[in-house]
Chains A and B, each alone.
Chain A
Amino acid sequence: MNKWIRWPGLIAFVLLFGTLFVFGYFFATSFVKNSIEDYGSEAVGAQVNVDSVNLTVSPLGMRVNRLQVTNPDAPMTNAVEIQGMAFELAFWNLLMGQVIIDEMSVDGIRFNTPRSSSGAIAKKAEPESKEPSLMDEIKGELPTADEIMARETLLTEVRSEELKTLYEQHSKILDESKTGLMDQKQLEAYQAEITKLTTEKLESLEDFNKRKERLSEINKELKKEKEKIAQAKSAYSTAYKELSEKLKEVKSAPSEDLANLKSKYSLDEGGATNITRLLFGNEAGEWTETGLAWYEKAKPYLEATQEEEVKEVERQGGRYIHFGGVESLPDFLLREARMDIVLAAGHLDGKLKDVTHQPEILGRPITLSINGTQLKGYDSMHLNAEFNHIDPKNAFDKAEFKVKKMEINQFKVSGNESFKLSLDKAKADITGTALIKNGKLKMKVDTLFSEAQFKSGATSGTAKQIGQLLETIHQFTITVNAKGNLKSLDTSFDSSLDSEMKKALNAKIDAKQAELEAQLKAKLQAKLTESTGSYSEDLNATLAGDGGLDAKQKQLEELAKAKLNSWEDQQKAELEAQKKAEKQKAKKEAEQKAKEKLKSLGF
């Protein structure tokens, strides 16, 4: 027996696994703490801190004490602070390599709590948007033409800039193509030389050959010049075409701008909604932005497992085949987390279910429900959300929420000096739905404000009128629709305030609108002149002609027609001329003789 059994090996085995267990027990807590802090910070973009982690062996579980998630936009504030999270792990599943948490309790969830130290982490500085918000820009009156011009991206400016760039590009090309072309003097010199070569008398065969050779050289040079001119003409033609088209677009830009601005800012029909947008748009925009920013952070963890890039050679893992009767479990699953959310209004109960990064294995979506009743300042609050990534091709996230009788007190709508407006008191019933599918959001939020009491501080102008009107309105609705890509949402506001305003302010609006239109028109025209003024003369000159290239081309064609008579031809011509002269001389002599003979005969 002892020949085959090594008893010290038994001690070694116990020691080996005992060490692993002790090591695991003592280091698991710091491993979990560091993992939460490191991965959390990376995901959020700001510090995530955990005070401590406690491990219990029987039952196997863990408690995370005080988790703080810094708001990346305000490092001295926690976006979320959780007093404690406790959960138990399924031991058998852990042996199978699965982290399965049947139930987790999350206590004391608070938002926007102060931090004792900054939770910022070093990151690349991102340029801040300098675009002023609508509320920053609103003044006592409705937006002026100048404000609109400053606020909006105008086609006039954009197209003028494009025309300028295009003109500069073509100018450069045209200048380059014209460089090296013969000038008039050079052409005249060629003309003179060709005339000399072709008209002066040939002295000898050698003289003829020399001239012929020179004429051939000149022809070659002229041919090259013709090619250059053809290229320059082609460049001119392209420039003419493109610049003409762009100029046409630039000329039409002011009227298009005016139409766009009228549709956006005019106070008739849909334009009146801009009042709602101006008053409440910023708040709605900020809430939506904040919500989407946090959604973007959470999104990678909601999606079904993607094939990860293989960084090193690993053994193939095979696959698990599941048989009926037992639930298929992913590598990580939090079956249910009960949450206690602490707001100033009171406590909300939350339930988060089936959290996993492998929903395709579990076959159930992640669900979240938050409910609150008997809240201070609210009748009730309900949120239900579903993050369904079971089928990655048809993944969607949806949420619906309902807030009943939310009390609004001293809500500052506009703090602008000349247009102070606050909603002193109101009750709001809010219902909303949101669906995100294929990266696109479709959201609708209906809010009914009742028992509303506006208070306006405007003392003059349209602002005063709007303020006075709002003070008489005690019930109104606002519907916000947002749709489109998450990063460029198209939002629209619909409100009963608009029709109320329209009725009351119709005449004023028409006059104001006409005035605004006239101002906009003048300013757009001025903008066009300003944008194209510096080079408009050169541009017109470019478009007016081709820089005399046509005339030059004709001149070259004429020159190219010049021909040199051959030496033999010249000799023949001379011989024939000599013969002719001799013939004429003989003829004259014969005539002379005949005359003399006739004379001698007495005629």
Chain B
Amino acid sequence: MLSMLAKLLKALNSETNPSQISLAFILGMILGFTPLLSIHNILVVFLALVLRINLTGFILAWGFFSGFAYLLDPAFIALGESLLNNPDLVAMWTSMYHSDAWRVTRFNNTLVLGSLLISLALALPLFFIFNLLIKQYRERIYAWVQKTKLMQVLKASKLFHIYSALDRGGLV
């Protein structure tokens, strides 16, 4: 876990394109928010592996958003319920329901639909927000953080040693 955090810090502090880190966070969020054994998550894992994104960021985001999902589940379910029961959409759901391929996606499950739609809705704005935050971090916070007492303490910590070791070994 510490080495993963160190890798993430390394990526944040490196010249890695912020979009690659942001996209990793977004894919991790989709995987974390939606039920794991859903067919769309095969696509998410495929994209995470095939696209040149930061895998450490993806895994950490998955873990973080999985935990967060426990709190958001009622909201996901409520959204799924309201959409699936919306009379204006019933015709569409029914035609999708008649297709085996659509049913395999488990779209008619309130949690799957609610969590996936919320994840997708959040994906784009969060992508830009993460991008912005990473840039801001690198431009302003990184330099300031380096000077803080906390960073001095951290530099003496195990995490920093791992980070340094990885950095020296070119592992990150």
Known: A5-B50, A92-B104, A316-B77. A16 touches B84 (CB 8 A): no
Q: Distance in Å from the Cβ of A528 to the closest Cβ of chain B?
A: 71
| A599 interfacial by beta-carbon distance below 8 Å | no
Q: Distance in Å from the Cβ of A323 to the closest Cβ of chain B?
A: 4
| B37 interfacial by beta-carbon distance below 8 Å | yes
Stretch among B2-10, B105-113, B120-128, B130-138 lining the A interface: B105-113
- Determine the distance from Cα of A233 to Cα of B153 in the docked complex, in whole angstroms: 84
| B140 interfacial by beta-carbon distance below 8 Å | no
Nearest to A92 among chain B residues (CB) is: B100
Q: Distance in Å from the Cβ of A35 to the closest Cβ of chain B?
A: 19
Would A16 and B108 count as touching, CB distance under 8 A? no
Would B74 and A321 count as touching, CB distance under 8 A? no
Max count, chain B CB within 10 A of own CB: residue among A12, A17, A321 = A321
Size of interface on B: residues with Cβ below 8 Å to A = 36
Q: What B residues does A313 contact at CB under 8 A? A: 70
Would B108 and A315 count as touching, CB distance under 8 A? no
Which of A12, A319, A324 is B49 in contact with, Cβ under 8 Å?
A: A12
Q: Bin the interface of chain A by size.
A: 20 to 34
Would A323 and B111 count as touching, CB distance under 8 A? no
Nearest to A98 among chain B residues (CB) is: B103
Known: A316-B73, A318-B114. A6 touches B104 (CB 8 A): no
Q: What A residues does B97 contact at CB under 8 A? A: 322-323, 325-326
Question: For chain B residues 20-57, which have a beta carbon within 8 Å of chain A?
Answer: 35, 37, 39, 42, 45-46, 48-52
Q: Distance in Å from the Cβ of B96 to the closest Cβ of chain A?
A: 8
Known: A316-B73, A326-B97. A321 touches B84 (CB 8 A): yes
Max count, chain B CB within 10 A of own CB: residue among A6, A9, A12, A325 = A9
- Determine the distance from Cα of A321 to Cα of B93 in the docked complex, in whole angstroms: 10
| A13 interfacial by beta-carbon distance below 8 Å | yes
Which of B39, B94, B111 is A317 in contact with, Cβ under 8 Å?
A: B111
Would A6 and B51 count as touching, CB distance under 8 A? yes
Q: What A residues does B69 contact at CB under 8 A? A: 315
- Determine the distance from Cα of A262 to Cα of B74 in the docked complex, in whole angstroms: 69
Which of A315, A318, A325 is B94 in contact with, Cβ under 8 Å?
A: A325
Q: Distance in Å from the Cβ of A395 to the closest Cβ of chain B?
A: 27
| B129 interfacial by beta-carbon distance below 8 Å | no
| B168 interfacial by beta-carbon distance below 8 Å | no
Which of B52, B70, B73, B93 is A323 in contact with, Cβ under 8 Å?
A: B93
- Determine the distance from Cα of A97 to Cα of B97 in the docked complex, in whole angstroms: 16
Known: A10-B49, A323-B94, A325-B98. A92 touches B103 (CB 8 A): yes
Would B52 and A96 count as touching, CB distance under 8 A? no
User: Per-residue CB proximity of A11-33 to B under 8 Å, as 1/0?
Assistant: 01100110000000000000000
Would B50 and A13 count as touching, CB distance under 8 A? yes
Would A315 and B52 count as touching, CB distance under 8 A? no
Q: What A residues does B163 contact at CB under 8 A? A: none
Would B108 and A95 count as touching, CB distance under 8 A? no
Known: A4-B51, A10-B50. A315 touches B35 (CB 8 A): yes
Q: Distance in Å from the Cβ of A3 to the closest Cβ of chain B?
A: 7
Q: Distance in Å from the Cβ of B157 to the closest Cβ of chain A?
A: 31
Would B94 and A95 count as touching, CB distance under 8 A? no
User: Per-residue CB proximity of A107-130 to B under 8 Å, as 1/0?
Assistant: 000000000000000000000000
Q: What B residues does A323 contact at CB under 8 A? A: 90, 93-94, 97, 108
Q: Distance in Å from the Cβ of B95 to the closest Cβ of chain A?
A: 9
| A603 interfacial by beta-carbon distance below 8 Å | no
Known: A9-B49, A315-B73, A316-B77. A322 touches B111 (CB 8 A): no
Q: What A residues does B52 contact at CB under 8 A? A: 3-6, 9
Q: What B residues does A12 contact at CB under 8 A? A: 49
Closest 3 interchain pairs by CB? A318-B111, A9-B49, A318-B110
Q: Which residues of B contact A (CB under 8 A)?
A: 35, 37, 39, 42, 45-46, 48-52, 69-70, 73-74, 76-77, 80-81, 84-85, 90, 93-94, 97-98, 100, 103-104, 106, 108-112, 114
